[in-house]
Structure 1
Amino acid sequence: MERGGEKIILKPIRISKNFNEEKEAILLSPPTRMFHEPNYNVYIVAIMGWKVPIEVDAIKAEIQRKLLKHPRFSSLQVMDESAGRGEMRWVPTTVNIDDHIIVPQIADDKMDTDKLVEEYISNLSTTTIDMSKPLWDFHALNVKTSQAKATSISRIHHSLGDGVSLMSLLLSCFWTISDPSYLPTLPVSSSSKDKSNLSISNREDIWSSIWQYLVKLWLLVKLLFNTVVDVLLITTTTLFLKDSQSPFMVAHRSNRQRFIYRTVSFDDIKFVKSATNTAVAEMVEENATVIQGNCFGFAIIPLTLAQLKSPLDYVRKGKIAMDRKKHSLETGCTFYILQLILKFFGSRGATRLAERILSQTTLIFSNVAGPLEEVSLAGHPLTFLAPTCYGHPTGLMIHACSYAKKLTFVMAVDGEIIPNPNQLGDDFVGSFMHIKEAALSKLRTKVD
């Protein structure tokens, strides 16, 4: 919060040393505790556009009926000094829903509504949630923009869970529009292979069997080699290796983020996919409504700054890089390395590692799968879903989120390094349209 132009960081509530450890007062896990370290106070922001104005009472009732059933949304994060180490615990509390639903009074002026909503969300990035209540809130903006009849912002502290868990929990409050009696579904893996193709038939001759085993051995060697190279790369990046200097590389971050979101059609993405003979990345997450905490790893993906002949060459080059990463255990290794650091050096040591990686690289890219169907909440049809974060030590973070037949990209931009973030968003879409046009030209050439 701010007072007199000075930013005040609210510290966790402390409880006395005679605190009686009860079963319901669960200790925060080390990964969760990371998000309370200095310079790593991260909030997840889910920006949602609606096809109708927001009826606050209806939304409030649905949140109270479903969301508050989950302990992390109805518990305080309390500092327990009874053990002498200043640990934090989840302590159940009674939630006053009105403390978490915010309906700002929008002044009736001549300010562009798109700009008004953008400024409101940006202002949120300069504030924190009072730790005397559960760390989430819901902001309802009943102003019509170019993308929606109304906009809401769900702000959730990252300590409550990672993006996948929170997305599943959020969607448990929604119903599909096509059949209001069904909950929405998230994409699940469709790439499971027929095991019979991997088995060796009794009718195969010995040379075919030897060839299959050689292929499997080669794939295993390739996997191990790629993993070793990737782990060495991320280790050297942590120690001394740094990206080339660019406008996105900043020595320090400002206290304000700007959030720009743009939506493209999944049909267009599939068209480009067929034109370049690449596979659309499958965002594989099972639909569950249990928050599993914070589970994450890192992967470093190279970005080549070069002028290629065709816009489609960028897609092909990106596919090669992603296929290479799929044949590596980099993210799994970084996850377990982070767990070891948490165990031996605590959340502060793990936070220093994460900060180091992020400060040495150009940008962060993350994605989460949204619902396959169009959905509604308490009779409010959803237009778009745009999740993002603030509080991370980087100048640019890009999130991608699918929803029905759309894909929304959200850019969280440091307010001091990019003077016109909307131009960045327009350039993002413009680049995609150039790629689409190149795919159309290729199709016309084939037809001719």
Structure 2
Amino acid sequence: MKNSNKKSMARKKDEEEEEDEPMSPTGRMMQAPKFNIFIVIFMGYYTKIDPILFKKCIHQNLPNHPRFSSILVTSGGRYRWRRTAVDIDSHLFVPDVAAAAESPDEFVAEYASTLSEIPMDAAAKPLWEFHILNVKTSDAEAMVVMKIHHSLGDGVSLIALTHACSRKLDDPASLPVLPPPSKKRREGGRGLLKLLWMVILILFYTLVDMTAFLATLLFLRDAQTPVRAGRGVRLRRKRFAHKIASLDDVKFIKNAMNVSVNDVVLGVTEAGLSRYLNSIYMNNRENGAEDKEKSSNCLPKNLGIRSTVVFNLRPSPTIEDLAKMMEKEGLNVNLGNKIAIVLLPFTIALQDDPLAYIRRAKSTMDRKKLSLAHQCACITMKLTTSLFGIKAAARLTRAVFRNTTFTFSNVMGPTEEVNLFGHHLRYIAPSVCGFPQSLIIHYQSYSDKIIVSIGADEKLIPNPDQLCDDLVKSLQNIREAVKEKALASASLDYC
């Protein structure tokens, strides 16, 4: 009898393991003890949240998603996703918000900061949760904070998932419309010499960028600045902030200067960081013991820092595919991470001409497009994982983040406002915690808005709202400079 029970249990275990899905190497790396990354998404709504309706909408969507209905199991050094029953009540929290009466914005910020410290048990339940805060803030009537482990997917695919759960306001049965992917310009009639020169440039820039990447892995570190942290930063509380700006301003600059949206937000980031760091250096100088000559420019000369840009080489699923999958149509969607890292240089300086930031950003991006270093970096990490294991790959990846200053990302959202989980969404602002950097700057477009979102180490950057303000002011300054240039050009043409 005992032997039959043992055989039955062994057979059941084998059947479960056959149904399990192997975790991708990148997903395993993101579960490493010193590289435990979570995505935190702030969702602002036009109305108060009805928890019952919100729960019903979650129940209709997320439990059908394989990653959102799986726990992590480990056996013999193998990491696998195992499907499990989802108890929505263990993922949905509605805390008491009575303490928010005096300062609702601060209450939401403090609540989210506390979430950045709380771990999640991967073996107990799927790694996601919602926190409904029926608090009226300066930007919304109510807030929902969603926390998701990064091993469930990359930022783009998880944002796509939220879009797949949303519907048009005027047509509740229809999915929202996302902006079309930017079309690459084709140059006609490339001659053999031009093609040869392009190949030489690609090889050269790839070699330069890979040398810089390997040097960063081993010893090359950014200059020490007030926004760059040392070891242990991933364990500290994060502070989150976001501001809503006009997407029309970004498009206006884009069209006037014949650049991309990415070029614009990259230039705005360099301008905003320069403005923010200058104010810190100025305060340090004024508070110093020595009486130094006052100057509006207190930045050190030749101050250069770098940003990591992390993206998934595996094509992200479309919102149509995700919506079908969550409707149980049996569609197999590839959800794993296949991460690549690009290092972007930033020159921190105050420019007399604000448009110089956009020109430099375009030059940087044009050059990066001629490099295959991100593919080589991905291959390097895969080889490291194969030869030395996940811990070694995680250690190297941490070194890249630790030796650079911040992370930059930009994600497109729906072109019109939507209904998300049964309520009219005003904005969405994603960020990250648990990574070995003190700062992440994220841009998220939504309808006619672009949301600037900051995740920062609480001790090193206690005022992320100021950095948000500096980024938005930089966008406005660049817009005004474009207008002035257009008016000057028009007056010259008239003369």
TM-score w.r.t. length of structure 2:
0.80
More displaced, 299-308 or 386-395? 299-308
- Give the partner amino acid of 2:72: Q
Provide closer, same or farther for how the CA distance between residues 193 and 441 of structure 1 changes in structure 2, counting only shifts above 3 A.
closer
Q: Distance in 1 between matches of 2:113 and 2:149?
A: 16
- Give the partner amino acid of 1:328: S
Counterpart in the other structure of 2:275: none
| Structure richer in helix, relative to its length | 2
Correspondence list, 1:290-301, <5 A? 290=333, 292-301=335-344
Q: Distance in 2 between matches of 1:220 and 1:182?
A: 45
CA contact (8 A) 1:53 1:142 kept: yes
Choose from 225, 228, 233 the match for 1:249.
Answer: 228
Deviation digits for residues 252-281 of structure 1 (CA, Å, limit 9, x no counterpart): 215200011112111101222233332323
Number of aligned pairs? 417
1:403, CA displacement in angstroms?
1.1
- Whether 1:169 aligns to 2:161 is yes
Q: Distance in 1 between matches of 2:66 and 2:258?
A: 46
1:415, CA displacement in angstroms?
0.6
Counterpart in the other structure of 2:143: 151
- Whether 1:217 aligns to 2:217 is no
Deviation digits for residues 55-114 of structure 1 (CA, Å, limit 9, x no counterpart): 11111111111111012111111222xx3xx32221221111111010011125642111
Q: Distance in 2 between matches of 1:433 and 1:169?
A: 32
1:156, CA displacement in angstroms?
0.7
More displaced, 366-375 or 395-404? 366-375
CA contact (8 A) 1:385 1:408 kept: yes
- Whether 1:278 aligns to 2:259 is yes
CA contact (8 A) 1:30 1:347 kept: yes
Secondary structure at 1:126 match in 2 = coil
Choose from 50, 74, 89 the match for 2:80.
Answer: 89
1:446, CA displacement in angstroms?
2.2
Counterpart in the other structure of 2:348: 305
Unaligned runs of 5+ in 1: 1-14, 201-210
CA contact (8 A) 1:177 1:381 kept: yes
- Give the partner amino acid of 2:97: I
Counterpart in the other structure of 2:20: 25
Deviation digits for residues 331-387 of structure 1 (CA, Å, limit 9, x no counterpart): 222122222222222211111111001111111112222222221124411111111
CA contact (8 A) 2:238 2:456 kept: yes
Secondary structure at 1:302 match in 2 = strand
- Give the partner amino acid of 1:36: Q
Counterpart in the other structure of 1:103: 94
Counterpart in the other structure of 2:4: none
CA contact (8 A) 2:413 2:445 kept: yes
Deviation digits for residues 29-76 of structure 1 (CA, Å, limit 9, x no counterpart): 211111111221111111111111111111111111111101211111
More displaced, 427-436 or 286-295? 286-295
CA contact (8 A) 1:161 1:292 kept: yes
Secondary structure at 1:66 match in 2 = helix
Counterpart in the other structure of 2:129: 137
- Give the partner amino acid of 1:221: I
Q: Distance in 2 between matches of 1:437 and 1:67?
A: 44
Deviation digits for residues 118-137 of structure 1 (CA, Å, limit 9, x no counterpart): 11111100101233111110
- Whether 1:229 aligns to 2:224 is no
Q: Distance in 1 between matches of 2:138 and 2:334?
A: 34
Provide closer, same or farther for how the CA distance between residues 291 and 167 of structure 1 changes in structure 2, counting only shifts above 3 A.
farther
Correspondence list, 1:44-83, <5 A? 44-80=39-75, 83=76
Counterpart in the other structure of 1:113: 104
CA contact (8 A) 1:169 1:291 kept: no
Q: Distance in 2 between matches of 1:249 and 1:377?
A: 36
Counterpart in the other structure of 1:203: none
Counterpart in the other structure of 1:265: 246
1:235, CA displacement in angstroms?
0.8
Q: Distance in 1 between matches of 2:226 and 2:113?
A: 20
Counterpart in the other structure of 1:124: 115
TM-score w.r.t. length of structure 1:
0.88
Q: Distance in 2 between matches of 1:278 and 1:237?
A: 29
1:192, CA displacement in angstroms?
4.8
Q: Provide the aligned C-alpha RMSD in A.
A: 2.3
- Whether 1:321 aligns to 2:364 is yes
